[in-house]
Amino acid sequence: MRSVFSLYRSSVGKKIVMAISGVFLFLWIVGHMLGNLKVFFGQEAFDHYAHGLKEFGDPFLLHGQFLWIVRFVMLAIIFLHMLSALAVYLQSKAARKTGYKKEEALTFTYASRTMRWGGVILLVYIVYHLLHFTVGSAHPKFVPGAAYANLVVGFQNWWVSGFYIVAMIALGLHLYHGLWSACQTLNFNNPRLRDLRRPAALLITLFIVLGFCSVPISVLAGIVTLP
């Protein structure tokens, strides 16, 4: 066990921290996307779901406690994910001070080259998203507790929906590389299964991106409306 805590000191350990924190973030995103789809079941179902998140764990937890626990845990996981990414980035920068005049892209995928900027776009988006739908300060007509109305009014703005979709594409690229990369880092490399990692990562990514994007598109298309 001595070395479990010293793992982080090496670059491989930093990647392991990034992979494990990434897997937790991925699981959270799956839950978030499936929750969002409840918007298609109408205002009452969606508001009931949003309210349920605050009451989760009753009677063991009081109103909103579950949500605050999740928020703190998520904040810690995002912090670890970013910290390890920053540390690896700084090591890489130091490892090649003089670059190439000519450089061919030899990487397996385009997605892998977007990870660092894609991560920054996602961070900016998450801050805006929280101000928009959670705090409400970036929302024109925010009503606390009226999740469905806030969502529909919010996404009726083309700019808001456009930014959302751009952020989801960034998320898709990040996930497509991230899921495969986490398999590599955590040695999920069984010879019989490893060729399925890319197609599986692509399918899961498409499922998540299309699931998320269906909400603003449906609002703009007039499928999801205020009664």
Partner 1 sequence: MNLILQVWRQDGPDSKGRFVRYEANDISDHASFFEMLDVVNEQLIEKGEEPIHFSHDCREGICGTCGMVINGTPHGPDPGITTCQLHMRRFNDGDEIWVEPFRATAMPVIKDLVVDRSALDCIIQAGGYISANTGNAQDANAIPIPKNDSDLAMDAAACIGCGACVAACPNASAMLFTAAKIGHLGLLPQGQAERNSRARGNCTNHGSCQNACPKEISVDFIARLNGDFLRAGFK
What residues make contact with partner 1 under the rule CB under 8 A? 1, 3-4, 7, 10-13, 15-16, 88, 91-92, 94-104, 106-109, 112-113, 115, 177, 180-181, 183-189, 194
Closest CB 206 distance from partner 1, rounded Å: 20
The answer to whether residues 209 and 168 touch, using CB atoms and an 8 Å cutoff, is yes
The total of other beta-carbon atoms located within 10 Å of residue 147's CB is 20
Nearer to partner 1, 202 or 217 (CB): 202
Nearer to partner 1, 161 or 185 (CB): 185
Instruction: Give the integer Cα–Cα distance in Å for 152 and 162.
Output: 14
Nearer to partner 1, 60 or 105 (CB): 105
Nearer to partner 1, 151 or 175 (CB): 175
The answer to whether residues 174 and 113 touch, using CB atoms and an 8 Å cutoff, is no
Contacts of 161 (CB under 8 A, 6+ apart): 155, 216, 217, 219, 220
Supply angle C-alpha 184, 173, 217, rounded to 5: 145
Closest CB 77 distance from partner 1, rounded Å: 19
Q: 183-217: buried (b, 16+ CB within 10 Å) or exposed (e) per residue? A: bebeeeeeeeeeeebeeebbeebeebbebbbbbbb
Instruction: Give the integer Cα–Cα distance in Å for 49 and 64.
Output: 13
The structure tokens listed for 61 are: 């937890």
Closest CB 119 distance from partner 1, rounded Å: 12
User: Does 144 sit behind a cis peptide bond, omega within 30 degrees of 0 on the bond before it?
Assistant: no
The total of other beta-carbon atoms located within 10 Å of residue 110's CB is 11
Closest CB 13 distance from partner 1, rounded Å: 8
Closest CB 187 distance from partner 1, rounded Å: 3
Nearer to partner 1, 100 or 159 (CB): 100
Closest CB 71 distance from partner 1, rounded Å: 29
Nearer to partner 1, 135 or 186 (CB): 186
